[in-house]
Structure 1
Amino acid sequence: MPLSPLDIHNKEFGRRLRGYDEDEVNEFLDQVIKDYESLIRENKELQNQMLALQERLNHFTNIEETLSKTIIIAQEAADEVRNNAKKEAQLIIKESEKNADRIINDSLAKSRKVSLEVEELKKQASVYRARFRTLVEAQLELLTVDGWDTLEPQQARQSEHELLRG
């Protein structure tokens, strides 16, 4: 157990012949007591400062840990947002490609249908022109025949119907 200033103050030394000067020893002990008390006070102040600094250090260490965790969480959240954005962009691209393919396929089907209809109309126009030409030629032939007056109207109508059907 360390000495206290009171222990030093109450310390009694035995007396001997030819011993030290009692006043000098007491004076020295008083000086030692003052210095020792001063050192004890200083030591307590330093311990209090050390405790205060330790508390601040703990506080800042906690803040640092909290900030580190927050940064990690923020980074993970940013990574997750980035990954979700990439996935969403890929889904949008795939959907757009599907829509584009559907539109292209629809357009090709409509184009084929229109092309077939055009071909059919060309065939029908060609048939119609051929029939019309035949009809006109038959009518011209009737005009050029000498026995125009002798033809019966019914025969003329029959030949017109046959040409139109034919």
Structure 2
Amino acid sequence: MPLTPLDIHNKEFTRGFRGYDEDEVNEFLDQVIKDYEAILREKKELFERVTDLDEKLEHFKNIEETLNKSILIAQETAEEVRRNAQKEAQLIVKEAEKNADRIINDALSKSRKIMIEMEELKKQASVYKMRFKMLIEAQLEMLNTDDWDEFVEREEDELEQNQS
């Protein structure tokens, strides 16, 4: 067990025949007591400071650990967000491709229907043109025949008879 300043102060030395000068020894002991008290105070202060710094160090270690965990969580979250965004982008692209295919197929189908309708209209127009031409030719032929002249004469004759 270490000495205390009180132990030093109360220490009694045995006296010898030609011993040390008592005042000089007391003066030296007083100086040792002061120094010893100063060292003990400093030790206590340093111990308190070390304890305080240990507590702060522990606190900062906890903060560091928490920050490290937070960084890991943030990295994992960022990676998960990136993966989800990538999946969503792929889904959007697939959906867009499906829609594009559907739109193209619809457009091709409509185009085919329009082409078929156009061909049908061309055929109908050709048939109409041919029939109309035949009608006009028939009417011209009828106008160019002698039957027309006879018809006109007969009509005139009938008119004259009705008037008389």
TM-score by length of 1: 0.80
Structure 2 distance, partners of 1:147, 1:45, is: 147
Percent of aligned pairs sharing the same letter:
71
**Match of 1:128?**
128
Structure 1 distance, partners of 2:38, 2:30, is: 12
Larger mean CA deviation between 27-36 and 5-14 belongs to 5-14
**Match of 1:31?**
31
| Residue deviations 1:44-71 (CA, integer Å, cap 9, x gap) | 0111111112212222222222222222
**Match of 2:8?**
8
**Match of 1:104?**
104
**Match of 1:56?**
56
Gaps of 5+ in 2: 152-164
Q: 1:87-98 counterparts in 2 under 5 A?
A: 87-98=87-98
**Match of 1:76?**
76
Greater percentage in helix: 2
How many positions carry a matched residue from both structures?
Answer: 151
| Residue deviations 1:93-113 (CA, integer Å, cap 9, x gap) | 221221111111101110011
Structure 2 distance, partners of 1:34, 1:139, is: 151
**Match of 1:158?**
none
- Give RMSD over aligned pairs: 2.0
User: What SS does structure 1 have at the residue aligned with 2:112?
Assistant: helix
**Match of 1:43?**
43
**Match of 1:161?**
none
